[in-house]
A and B are shown apart, each in its own frame.
Chain A
Amino acid sequence: MASLAFPASARLSSRRFVEAVMRAREFGIVAVLVVFVVVTTSVQPRFFDNQNIKFVFSNAVIYALLALGETVVVISRNYDLSVGSVLGLSAYLSSDLFQRAHGIPIVGVFAVGLAIGVGCGAVNGAIVAVARVPSLVVTLATLYIYRATDVLIIGGGMVVANTLPGGFLSIPTSSVGPVPYLAIAVAAAVAAAAYYLGTFRPGRDLYAIGSNPEAARLAGVPTGKRVFWGFVVSGGVAGLAGVLWAATYGTIDSTAGYGYELTVIAAVVVGGVNIFGGSGTVVGAALGALLLATINQALYVLGISSFWDPAIDGALILAAISLDHWITVRLTSALRKRSVRGAA
């Protein structure tokens, strides 16, 4: 209860300071993005044409969506490694419905994908929250289990594009100018999630749990419940992403979304979300996904072999976490100075 000893004004100003830096962190990603776009465009003006911008957005959309869900889990100091497998399962089972249930409306397919994701997320969340098992282990296990389920259901088959209705396949491609509708929808979802997490009690609770799970529990936060719902959100979002994946790529076999989990966590980390929970925003994470997509497309446009992609992504991840660490260290020392001054 030591913090009560500080004058309210000191606490308020330090909080404002924290907020300012948090905001600056997202500005940092935006700045890197802008620099990248400007430099690439000056070298190769073709980069800024409609087709390319559309490519960047449609590549980023699925990762941004997954990053949204992952962030909800990561800020509560948990991890969801099963997102790639959930995406794969949902992509196949939902798109297969066009063949199995003729005339099913597209909305119905999305609902099924969402339901599959929510189901998988609920299993993760229930095991983590009720059995109190570390989520890294649980979701590593379900990563394999969901993927194997997918493989066993599919067998050797696959869904091919000509079995999917045109209206479904055109969802990712229809756009206003260079911006796909889907990108706008995802941006709206990210904004809504950011507002919810930052404003409402369950969202703030997730941050509290991530900062110090024990303290949050003692403060009366229903940690199990909140963490459970975090996993449900992450699973549901991955389920939706699976349907979008199906619409984007058209051909779905049992490898859909394979290996996505670590890329998504990379995007989340690049986006300034603390890997040990407690800080970071979904906006940052989505921007992290956009940045990775932009860089990959920029390399392509510049004629640099795509063999450079992972090396640069890796270097970028290391740079991002180093920067994040540097900011945190400075922030902590600044806050300590402030509280010393406030106490005196």
Chain B
Amino acid sequence: MVQPEATIGVPAGSAKAPTAASEPVARGAVAPPRKRLRRWSRLALRWEGALVVALALTVALGAVTSRQFLTASNVFSNISLLYGELAMMTLPMTLIIVSGEIDLSVASTLALANSLVGYLWVQHWPMPAVIVCVLATGVACGALNGLLVTRVGLPSLAVTIGTMTLYAGISELVLGPAIITSFPASYTSIGVDPVPGTAGLLSYSALAYIALAVIFALVLHATAFGRSVTAIGYNKEAAQFAGIRVKHVKTMLFVTSGLVSAMAGVLYTFRLSTAEANNGTTLVLPVVAVVLLGGVSIFGGRGTMLGVVLAVLVYCGLQSALLLTNFNSNALELVTGGLLLLSVLIPNGGELAARARRLGGRHLKGGL
């Protein structure tokens, strides 16, 4: 299990599989639900606490290794500008993973938005119309994912591997080998200039991320919709029987994901002032990695927006700090991998030690 609570639960709980619909009952029989719930929130707090410590260490590391790290120009150009779009895409991804699904097509939707902005612009569309059309395309991409997952009943992992390839393919068809750079400066400045009144710290993508993060956090933690997302992720059947419109909720999530990815795609285009087939398609796994690092369970039902926001900061901060030390920029993903591995191993450390102690006898009863 990804997350801390599993370490405290009954040992048998450690084998929790995405299926086991009946399992909460079995586990509940051992530890009363309410007590477990309190443990959960405590441990979730502890996980976010760990991320706060990691963030503090990151900032300390950055400040010690380079005097540039804490300057406004570094924060702006190497963090908020560089990672704004990635950060935006983690928000709907968090909701989707909490609901027990996954969307691997986000980066391809971003790439499609990028190509489409370029294509429509050279067709002499006015920019506002281009943006509206691109966002509508994002909604359509999300809707197709949602439709295939909820109405046809296909697993989202497989569906979005398919649409990932499909949307990237359409992005290639839209632009072909063309590379479009003739965007007006009035728009590309949105991509490269800081937002006025933010002390030169925030890019427009970072501002969009912060605004959306607040909205998404409120939706996930303070609305009935958010509760139903969590309920679906924890136990789909139970959610269904509790009267939650599972299909509707999931479709909404995929549509939101498409929309936000397209928004990120528009900002991405303005930042690079370039439209090119397959721009940015490699962003997908980093997005998933950051969400999981934020303590969201890959099996759904668990995760907080605060954790994911902290994970975004740790991820960006650490990469930026390493970049300033002349670390090979192509090997930066070592950070992603290392953090991800630690994030799943540390919470399981207690259980691991216990299992190591048990090793020796109890072959058959081991897990019971």
Contacts and interface: CB of A to CB of B under 8 A. Distances in A.
Interface in B142-174: 148, 152-155, 157-159, 161-170, 172-173
A152 B153 CA distance: 43
A38 interface: no
Contact of B165 (A77, A141, A276, A310): A310
Contacts of A147: 333, 337
A127 interface: yes
Interface in B91-129: 104
Contacts of B367: 217
Interface stretch (A89-97, A111-119, A187-195, A317-325): A317-325
Given A144-B289, A265-B161, A254 B169 contact: no
B15 interface: yes
A184 interface: no
B25 interface: no
A294 interface: no
Given A143-B285, A317-B161, A311 B152 contact: no
Nearest to B172: A307
B235 interface: no
A107 interface: no
Contact of B17 (A77, A144, A145, A309): A77
Interface in A124-146: 127, 130-134, 136-138, 140-145
Contacts of A130: 352, 355
A333 to B, nearest CB: 14
B162 A141 contact: no
A131 B159 contact: no
Interface stretch (B48-56, B189-197, B339-347): B339-347
Contacts of B158: 269, 275, 317, 321
B288 interface: yes
A87 to B, nearest CB: 16
Given A213-B15, A314-B163, A137 B148 contact: no
A214 interface: yes
- Main secondary structure on A side of the interface with B: helix
Contact of A145 (B1, B20, B334): B334
Interface residues of A, number: 52
Contacts of B344: 131, 133-134, 137-138, 141
Nearest to A305: B176
Given A137-B298, A145-B341, A214-B15, A318 B172 contact: no
A307 B19 CA distance: 39
A317 B176 contact: no
A18 to B, nearest CB: 20
A315 B104 CA distance: 15
A315 B340 CA distance: 32
A132 B277 contact: no
Interface string A47-78: 00000000000000000000000000000010
B186 interface: no
Contacts of B148: 318, 322
Contacts of B176: 305, 307
Given A131-B352, A143-B337, A148-B333, A321 B166 contact: no
Contact of B157 (A127, A151, A275): A275
Given A127-B345, A144-B334, A133 B2 contact: yes
Nearest to A328: B153
A321 B159 contact: yes
19 contacts: A127-B341, A133-B344, A138-B341, A140-B340, A141-B338, A141-B341, A142-B337, A148-B330, A148-B331, A217-B15, A254-B330, A266-B162, A307-B169, A307-B173, A311-B169, A314-B163, A318-B159, A321-B162, A322-B154
Interface of A: 77, 81, 127, 130-134, 136-138, 140-145, 147-149, 151-152, 155, 212-214, 217, 220, 254, 259, 262, 265-266, 269, 275-276, 305, 307-315, 317-318, 321-322, 325, 329
Given A133-B345, A217-B15, 15 more contacts: A81-B285, A131-B352, A140-B337, A144-B336, A144-B340, A148-B337, A275-B157, A275-B158, A276-B155, A310-B166, A311-B169, A313-B169, A314-B165, A314-B169, A317-B158
